Chains A and B, each alone.
Chain A
């Protein structure tokens, strides 16, 4: 069985010459949930934009479900963008159509779906994030948590194999945060989550990768990485005051047995 995602020695420098990625290797198996952690400026977002070929041009390769990302091949790029669904940090960047349903339909319509098939995708995706009652609403009339959920739906409507989320818990109140984690946990996809919210990473992702200065500096079970104080300090990662990762992991484990 091919891995969901294979990144090997991926490098990238911004046009001004500053290096953002310096040889990233990452393999993710199908159905895995992986958190990408790291301080600001570590290259996390740059890495994400490589997953669907928006950024390219450096050394190394990215393969999604065995298919190499080749920016020159338009048809293949479309297939890659179907397979990799990215939910961006600010839902207002993602939701640009006048109504929720139209926005959710945007992705699948770009894939060539029309009529009943398209409507089915929209219904399915909105139901998956529990927003089916809001289909005719304008995105800016929704709460932030609702917008984030719709943003997830816009990507789910393309039936991706890998769901990539950039800071999914940012600006959410605790209830919205919990609702989102329940929704994400229920999706039968490979999940990649870029976040500074370490408890959220622990809650959702059994495995974590720490990225710093464009390199993968640690890769292992989330609870072990978070418990390694020296490693955490070295890469400017800090747990919330009073948070004990081992205790939390035990609680989460009993919760999801």
Chain B
């Protein structure tokens, strides 16, 4: 199932993690994230434990650390917000390097940075080891409502076509001397967006007609291939269970 749908977050490798059924991976990701989020922010050792667990998964999936780090930069805007907290926070304050910092704000910043980073890394690992197509299969097998699965399927198929349409329309505008540098030139762009919407809407109708012509009655056929095996289901809670153990030890200590 490597066909075509390469996306920038996917790393095409062969590893035990790549081979795991997508629904098992989705479940593990969600559970792990929940464990991370409910961990009290003062349990520093627990977070170190989580990071180690993720490092182990990354190693098993043969995803290089640098590759992960580069893509984790998506988190930066949110972390920047967290940087402001120690300065803006109220309550007890400490002085460090001549700066007066709020203790509560420091904890808050740590909380956002640690949990955010762990969450982003977990999602990146899921994306790196699972194609979009498999993610959709996984959601379908997890009994995610058909409507969402179908919308995601269509989005996956038509996003590129939509982007192509938009690009062609832009090139056609530029070719007729359009030079969007000033605010009042936004009109042509807005009209272009409207035209794109209409095109998409009309295409939706044509796609539907073509589907009905092939006997569509409101349900996409379910592919018979695959599905998580019992062994894979048994393996899927390994990561969240390990994380839960770390959390318990840290809290009970």
Contacts and interface: CB of A to CB of B under 8 A. Distances in A.
Given A96-B154, A115-B224, A138-B5, A88 B209 contact: yes
Interface stretch (A10-18, A97-105, A173-181, A207-215): A97-105
B206 A52 contact: no
Most-contacted residue by chain B among A88, A97, A158 (CB, 10 A): A97
Given A114-B224, A140-B160, A96 B211 contact: yes
A88 B207 CA distance: 9
- The interface size bin for chain B is 20 to 34
Interface in A162-217: none
Nearest to A107: B214
B95 interface: no
Interface string A14-55: 000000000000000000000000000000000001001010
Nearest to B209: A54
A240 B24 CA distance: 60
A97 B210 CA distance: 12
Interface string A76-115: 0010011011101010111111110010011101110011
Nearest to B220: A106
B214 A99 contact: no
A141 interface: yes
Nearest to B157: A96
B129 to A, nearest CB: 18
Interface string B186-210: 0000000000000000010011011
Interface string B210-232: 11111111001101100000000
B156 interface: yes
Interface of B: 1-5, 133, 136, 153-154, 156-158, 160-161, 203, 206-207, 209-217, 220-221, 223-224
16 contacts: A49-B209, A52-B213, A54-B213, A88-B210, A88-B213, A94-B210, A96-B154, A96-B158, A96-B207, A102-B223, A106-B221, A137-B4, A138-B4, A138-B5, A154-B214, A155-B214
